[in-house]
Structure 1
Amino acid sequence: MPFIKQHALFLPEERILLAVSGGRDSVLMAHLFNEAGFNFGIAHCNFSLRGEESKKDEQFTSDLAAELDVPFFSTTFDTIEYSRQHHISIQMAARDLRYDWLEEIRSDFDFQHIAIAQHQNDVMETMLLNLTRGTGIAGMHGILPKKGKIIRPLLFLSREEIDVIFEEKGLSYREDSSNKSNKYARNKIRLDIIPILKELNPSLEKTFEANRKRFEELEILLDRRVNEIKTELFKEIGTDEYEISLQGLQKLDPMDTLLYGLFHPFGFTESMLRDLKNSWNGEPGKVFSSGSYDLNLDRNKVLLSIRKNNIQDNTYIEDTEMSLKWGGKTFKSSAISSNHFTLRNEASIAQLDLALLKFPLVLRRWKDGDSFQPLGLRGKKKLSDFFIEQKIPLSRKNDIGILENGNGDIIWIAGFRIDERYKITTNTKKVFIFEQYT
């Protein structure tokens, strides 16, 4: 089939798993694959939505696999219960169940691809549905011939062309009665909207297919431009952590489209990005969260970082000999006589006068209002000011351990500075050592 070669859907020697409902489109796909001599199997989902009809669909599909002498796989879902449990529509529940199960069969039985029998009318319906709901360029190209392990080898055909082929071949199939109901949005577009549009343009399917290709190419161009901008503006400063020039973002044109292209992969919505844009000229420190990532406005830059959900709020140090984990780092404590002690001038280690400590100590995140007396200074300093002086990005503040004495004093900013009041002096008899390992 030329369409398969044109879009490099699969190689002739690969095994393909066909998703067959028993309806006209998927049955035709099975017969065409059989005529072409491809190596394939048939998979059928019974969604338990139409009672006896669903059982007859499954039997018909099983008989078709036997007729074509190919492997057959089937499963039954309680789709309604799944939709209730996950608070999604029945259509979405069926889609999720179907694709997850198909992928399991593909992987377990050594198939290289999953073939779905969607055609040009499905593409057209998807594009119109996306338009009514609001969409970007990806929604405008609708359904792609190939995406990951999913292939759609019938996208070169319209529904009318499929009807003609069926009549010529004299094939039988199962009719899904729910296709005649316009209570579903997609069916309403198919049954009510498209017939009116076809009065204006009898070649509507071909026109939409041409438009689909244009939008697909536009998406490629946009992705290329977004990647260029990302390479230019995103400076990687850690794992899943980037420093981004605010001035560079403010010069983007067209701004909304490019902002969305840059940050949508990290889970940020258009409304979140509008709020970000409206906050550019405000006070630094505002944080926008997508759930997985944080965007922090920090003076002349924006900091993008993955959320650190593994950081405990409080971890207690009960004894002088301990090993613990906090914020993805390991900390170890020990105590030694000052007679056997050698001072180490390293930011990753706190060496404190043990006699001044009140256990348990607390290792925690920083809080607004925190202050301490940095080593070498006479007066106290707010941690927020200390972080600014140290040029610590806002996104990294929660990664820094704050060691607090039992009396409430902050005695160490892990990795940076101890408190002047707790340093070792000539009067120190025993030294408490608290070391951070990354």
Structure 2
Amino acid sequence: MLPVKRFTEFIEQNNLFTPQNSILLAVSGGIDSVLLSRLFSAAGYSFGIAHCNFGLRGSEADADQQFCRDLATQLGVPFHTINFDTTRYADAHKISIQMAARELRYNWFEQVRQQHNYHLIALGHHKNDTIETILLNLTRGTGIAGLHGILPKNGVLVRPLLFLTRDEIATIVRAQNIPYVEDSSNASTKYARNKIRHEVVPKLRELNPNLENTFDNNLRHFRQLEELLELKVDEVKKHLFVQHEDEIHLAVEGVKALQPQQLLLYKLLQPYGFTEPVVDDVIASLDAQTGKWFASATYRLTIDRGKLILAENIPASTETVIINESDHEVHFDGQRIAILHDDSPLIVKDNPFAVSVDADKLIYPLTIRHWQQSDFFYPLGMKTRKKLSDFFINLKIPLHKKQQIPLLINGNGDIMWVAGHRPDERYKVSHNTKKVTIFELFK
């Protein structure tokens, strides 16, 4: 007899879905996914079957595909299938066959889900898969998130068989005489997961015959610890993270006071793409001089006068825009620069995003670009030149902001205007000025 009651109770207890939802089942034809299909049918849920042929096992894979097609017909549900050139995909993306198959199937499952209006995707993972996943994570290195195992629900993915062990599934399928196909690659120990399944878990079961139940209890504890940690991280974040426009500021002294420091700082920075080794470097550099920075793929963390500044990692632009004498407007790095030619010596005041320049001193074409390391200019009111990097330091402008400031460059290479901050003394409007050109920056 199929364990339909246990099946529906597990679904309800974990809030996986409701009888009104339509579910896409990922079915390989193996014992787990076939039982999943039978349970869905027996429980009266609305579902369809999706099967991937990865083209890796020749006629065996084709037979599995036909088996799944026949199963869908027998159960009277929609069938979706696709053939992949997995080897070609792996070579093109320079990844392993296993990773290629994973990316291909999950991307395709999601496409089918959206195209055919399924609410969720159901996978046939069971208790033993969770054990193998934890052991694999421990072998490769993991944090507490890697110890909670496979979750019953993660986004649009649900796993309604996690209440059963592999042995229980085998017993049910044999007792009901349910046909299924066996993937020959499951027996190979050349894959890490299979090695754990066939060689490591049996040895652990010799030490503890009740291994699955023990792991079940451990998982419950790990998940509760993870929830407790997340609550602590949220609490710390409210006090430590201070929003400043498009930046987040963290007081260095506050970071130093974190306990346990490495764990909490890692959990705070993890959503921004920072890895544990980088977080270790941050902690070791908390007393470093202003300007030291660390980057993830998407964010930059800069040490700046007693605080850490977290901001999106916008790569320094090498864009250069030419301004000709006839131009009235140019666009640079997502910003607009309006240009006005005036025959009177008009001086723009109280607007840092506009500047009046003595038109007779302009050498066309002009250029707009970003800061470079060797740049210098003569700040308005000064008779001596100043390195632009020192000018930025005096204004307490952090590194990532320096790289976003447009510079107006004369045809002879002189910086005439640090947009939004200071014009150059040499190009200011004076009593000798006959006409001006006005540049105005619009964000």
Normalized against structure 2, the TM-score is what?
0.95
Whole-Å separation in 2 of the counterparts to 1:244 and 1:362: 37
In the TM superposition, 1:100-249 aligns within 5 A as: 100-239=107-246, 241-249=247-255
In the TM superposition, 1:359-398 aligns within 5 A as: 359-398=364-403
Deviates more, 1:214-223 or 1:112-121: 214-223
Write the deviation string for residues 117-147 of structure 1: whole angstroms up to 9, x where unpaired: 0000000000000000000111111210001
- 2:74 is the alignment partner of 1:67: yes
Whole-Å separation in 2 of the counterparts to 1:310 and 1:34: 57
2:64 aligns with one of 27, 42, 57:
57
Residues 1:407 and 1:31: Cα distance change in structure 2 (over 3 Å): same
Write the deviation string for residues 24-63 of structure 1: whole angstroms up to 9, x where unpaired: 0000000000000000000000011111110000000000
CA shift at 1:251, angstroms? 1.3
> Is the contact made by 1:48 and 1:79 (CA closer than 8 Å) also made in structure 2?
yes
Normalized against structure 1, the TM-score is what?
0.96
CA shift at 1:305, angstroms? 1.2
> Is the contact made by 1:17 and 1:43 (CA closer than 8 Å) also made in structure 2?
yes
CA shift at 1:310, angstroms? 8.1
CA shift at 1:342, angstroms? 5.9
Whole-Å separation in 1 of the counterparts to 2:379 and 2:416: 9
Write the deviation string for residues 295-324 of structure 1: whole angstroms up to 9, x where unpaired: 111121111111224834322222252322
Whole-Å separation in 1 of the counterparts to 2:61 and 2:272: 40
* Residue type at the aligned position of 2:329: S
* Residue type at the aligned position of 1:34: S
3-state SS of the aligned residue for 1:273?
helix
In structure 1, the partner of 2:433 is 428
- 2:309 is the alignment partner of 1:303: yes
2:418 aligns with one of 406, 409, 413:
413
Whole-Å separation in 2 of the counterparts to 1:17 and 1:278: 49
3-state SS of the aligned residue for 1:135?
coil
Deviates more, 1:266-275 or 1:182-191: 266-275
Write the deviation string for residues 336-371 of structure 1: whole angstroms up to 9, x where unpaired: 1116x4633310101110111112222111122322
> Is the contact made by 2:41 and 2:75 (CA closer than 8 Å) also made in structure 1?
yes
- 2:243 is the alignment partner of 1:259: no
3-state SS of the aligned residue for 2:72?
helix
- 2:300 is the alignment partner of 1:290: no
Whole-Å separation in 2 of the counterparts to 1:276 and 1:313: 31
In structure 2, the partner of 1:326 is 332
3-state SS of the aligned residue for 1:338?
coil
Write the deviation string for residues 259-306 of structure 1: whole angstroms up to 9, x where unpaired: 111111111111112222222222221221112111111121111111
In structure 1, the partner of 2:55 is 48
CA shift at 1:19, angstroms? 0.3
In structure 2, the partner of 1:38 is 45
In structure 1, the partner of 2:103 is 96
Deviates more, 1:54-63 or 1:388-397: 388-397
CA shift at 1:68, angstroms? 0.3
> Is the contact made by 1:320 and 1:333 (CA closer than 8 Å) also made in structure 2?
no
3-state SS of the aligned residue for 2:403?
helix
CA RMSD of aligned residues (A): 1.5
Deviates more, 1:95-104 or 1:357-366: 357-366
CA shift at 1:238, angstroms? 2.8
Structure 2: state its 5+ residue gaps: 1-7
> Is the contact made by 2:348 and 2:355 (CA closer than 8 Å) also made in structure 1?
no
3-state SS of the aligned residue for 1:303?
strand
Whole-Å separation in 2 of the counterparts to 1:138 and 1:105: 29
* Residue type at the aligned position of 1:44: H
In structure 2, the partner of 1:351 is 356
Whole-Å separation in 2 of the counterparts to 1:277 and 1:325: 41
> Is the contact made by 2:316 and 2:404 (CA closer than 8 Å) also made in structure 1?
no
Number of aligned positions between the proteins: 436
* Residue type at the aligned position of 1:182: T
3-state SS of the aligned residue for 2:348?
coil
Whole-Å separation in 2 of the counterparts to 1:158 and 1:203: 11
In structure 1, the partner of 2:5 is none
CA shift at 1:187, angstroms? 0.3
In structure 2, the partner of 1:85 is 92
Whole-Å separation in 2 of the counterparts to 1:136 and 1:423: 59
Write the deviation string for residues 379-421 of structure 1: whole angstroms up to 9, x where unpaired: 2222223223323222211111111212222111111110111
- 2:291 is the alignment partner of 1:273: no
Whole-Å separation in 2 of the counterparts to 1:221 and 1:394: 36
* Residue type at the aligned position of 2:395: Q
3-state SS of the aligned residue for 2:47?
strand
Residues 1:292 and 1:32: Cα distance change in structure 2 (over 3 Å): same
CA shift at 1:9, angstroms? 0.3
3-state SS of the aligned residue for 2:48?
strand
In structure 1, the partner of 2:321 is 315
